[in-house]
């Protein structure tokens, strides 16, 4: 898949394409089922960072890192800044619950998830776009692994905010 081509991303089953700002106002469009998701930076050719982002603290830990660290993680030729999953064969998490948690973290709330926190230090974080793919008959973790593997094959590293996986 070409991660920089929205048409190809859509052909691979991704829907939604809602900005953080839109989802902060209304997260109802996010499905209440398991799946995988991408976070896209439409400004990726001009990404700027905040020294202190809007992410909440988790268990008292500061989510912010230095701008040089952010820059060293940035994949400058990729619009996808994070690949994630919601749900498991036995778990109850849905895209709606997982992305809702992610979005609350970006509103300086203390939530129980630390993954992907670097996106909240992107200066234009409210312009970031969330899209998702439903995986009703598949394990989202397996689909996420496939996407990460394909991404690494294309770009030589994980997406900007994928610190593990």
Give residue limits of the domains in the chain.
6-155
Q: How far apart are CA 100 and CA 106, in angstroms?
A: 10
- Quick one: what percent of the chain has pLDDT higher than 70? 99
> Residue 53: its pLDDT value, please?
93
- Read off the pLDDT of residues 85-121 as tens digits, 9 standing for 90 and up: 999 888 889 999 999 999 998 998 887 777 789 999 9
Tokens of 76: 């400058």
Can you give the pLDDT at residue 51?
A: 97
Which ranges of the chain have pLDDT less than 70?
Answer: 165
pTM score over 0.85: yes
| Exposed e or buried b per residue across 140-151, where buried means at least 16 C-beta atoms within 10 angstroms of its C-beta | bbebbeebbeeb
């Amino acid at each position: 898949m070409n991660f920089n081509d929205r048409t190809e991303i859509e052909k691979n089953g991704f829907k939604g394409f809602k900005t953080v700002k839109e989802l902060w106002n209304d997260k109802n469009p996010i499905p209440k089922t398991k799946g995988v998701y991408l976070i896209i930076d439409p400004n990726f050719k001009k990404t700027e960072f905040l020294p202190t982002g809007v992410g909440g603290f988790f268990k008292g830990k500061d989510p912010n890192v230095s701008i040089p660290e952010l820059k060293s993680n940035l994949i400058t030729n990729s619009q996808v800044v994070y690949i994630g999953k919601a749900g498991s064969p036995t778990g109850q998490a849905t895209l709606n619950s997982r992305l809702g948690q992610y979005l609350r973290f970006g509103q300086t709330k203390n939530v129980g998830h630390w993954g992907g926190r670097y996106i909240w230090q992107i200066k234009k974080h409210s312009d970031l776009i969330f899209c998702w793919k439903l995986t009703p008959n598949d394990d989202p973790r397996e689909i996420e692994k496939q996407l990460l593997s394909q991404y690494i094959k294309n770009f030589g590293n994980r997406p900007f905010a994928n610190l593990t996986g």
